[in-house]
Amino acid sequence: MYRKAENLRRTVLVVEDEFVNRQLLGMILSSDYEVLYAENGLQAMEVLRNTENTISMVLTDLNMPEMDGYDLIRAIKADRDFRKIPIIVLTSENDAEIQCLELGAADFIRKPYDMPQVILARVQRIIELSEDRIIIRATEKDPLTGLYTKDYFFEYAARLEAHHPDRRMDAAVLDIDRFHMVNELYGRDFGNTVLSTVAGRLMTFLADNNGIGCRYEQDMFMFICGHRDSYDDVVESVLAGLGDLETSLRFSVRLGINPDVRPDTAVYDQFDRARRACNAIKSNRAKPVMIYDEELQKKNRLSERLIHEMKGAMEEKQFKVFFQPKYNIKGEKPVLSSAEALVRWIHPELGMISPGLFIPLFEQNGLIQILDMYVWEESARQLSEWKRDLKKRLSVSVNVSRIDLYNPRIAEVLLDIKNRYKLDFNEFLLEITESAYSDDTDHLADVVRNLRSCGFKIEMDDFGAGYSSLTMLSVLPVDYLKLDMSFIRRIQENPVNRRMVELVIDMAKAIGTPVVAEGVETEEQYLILKDLGCDLIQGYYFSRPLPVSDFGKLLSEQGV
What is the torsional sign of CA 488, 489, 491, 495?
negative
> d(Cα 70, Cα 281) in Å, to the nearest integer?
59
What's the whole-number mean pLDDT along residues 513-529? Answer: 93
Banded pLDDT at 130 (limits 50, 70, 90): confident
Classified as helix, coil or strand, 189 is: helix
Given phi > 0 = left and psi -120 to 50 = alpha, else beta, which region is 323? Answer: beta
Distance CA 49, CA 244 (A): 43
The C-alpha atoms of residue 129 and residue 340 are separated, in whole angstroms, by: 64
Backbone angle region of 88, left / alpha / beta, with phi > 0 → left and psi within -120 to 50 → alpha: beta
Residue 384's beta-bridge partner residues? none
Count, residues in the chain: 560
Q: Which residues are bridge partners to 447 per DSSP? A: none
pLDDT value at residue 2: 38
CA distances for 548 relative to 160, 352, 397, 417, angstroms: 57, 16, 15, 19
Tens-digit pLDDT profile for residues 321-366: 999 999 999 988 999 999 999 999 999 999 999 998 899 889 888 8
Q: Of the ranges 105-119, 316-330, 399-413, 532-546, which one carries the lowest mean pLDDT score?
A: 105-119
Q: Summarize pLDDT for 9-66 with one digit per residue, the tens.
A: 889 999 999 998 888 999 999 989 999 999 999 999 999 998 877 899 999 999 899 9
Q: How many CB atoms lie within 10 A of CB 282?
A: 11
- Find all residues with CB under 8 Å of 13, minimum gap 6, and list them: 35, 36, 37, 38, 44, 47, 48, 55, 57, 58, 59
Angle formed at CA 401 by CA 397 and CA 407, multiple of 5 degrees? 110
- Of 487, 471, 396, 489, whose CA–CA distance to 434 is shortest? 471
Cβ–Cβ under 8 Å, residues 341 and 396: yes
Q: What are the tens digits of pLDDT across the range 355-371? A: 988 998 898 888 999 99
pLDDT at 285: 62
Percent of the chain topping pLDDT 90:
49
* Helix-then-strand count for the chain, H and E: 20, 19
H/E stretch holding 253 reads strand 253-258
What domains, with CATH codes, occur in the chain? 11-138 (3.40.50.2300), 150-292 (3.30.70.270), 301-558 (3.20.20.450)
Strands 536-538 and 319-328, by their bridges, are: antiparallel
67: left (phi over 0), alpha (psi -120 to 50) or beta: beta
pLDDT band with cut points at 50, 70 and 90 for residue 5: very low
Q: What is the pLDDT of residues 202-235, one digit of tens each?
A: 999 999 888 999 999 888 999 999 999 999 999 9
pLDDT at 392: 81
Distance between CA atoms of residues 254 and 169, nearest Å: 19
- Per-residue pLDDT tens for 409-466? 999 999 999 999 999 999 999 998 866 655 567 777 888 889 999 999 999 888 766 5
Cα separation, 130 vs 126, whole angstroms: 6
Measured CA to CA, the distance from residue 425 to residue 428 in angstroms comes to: 5
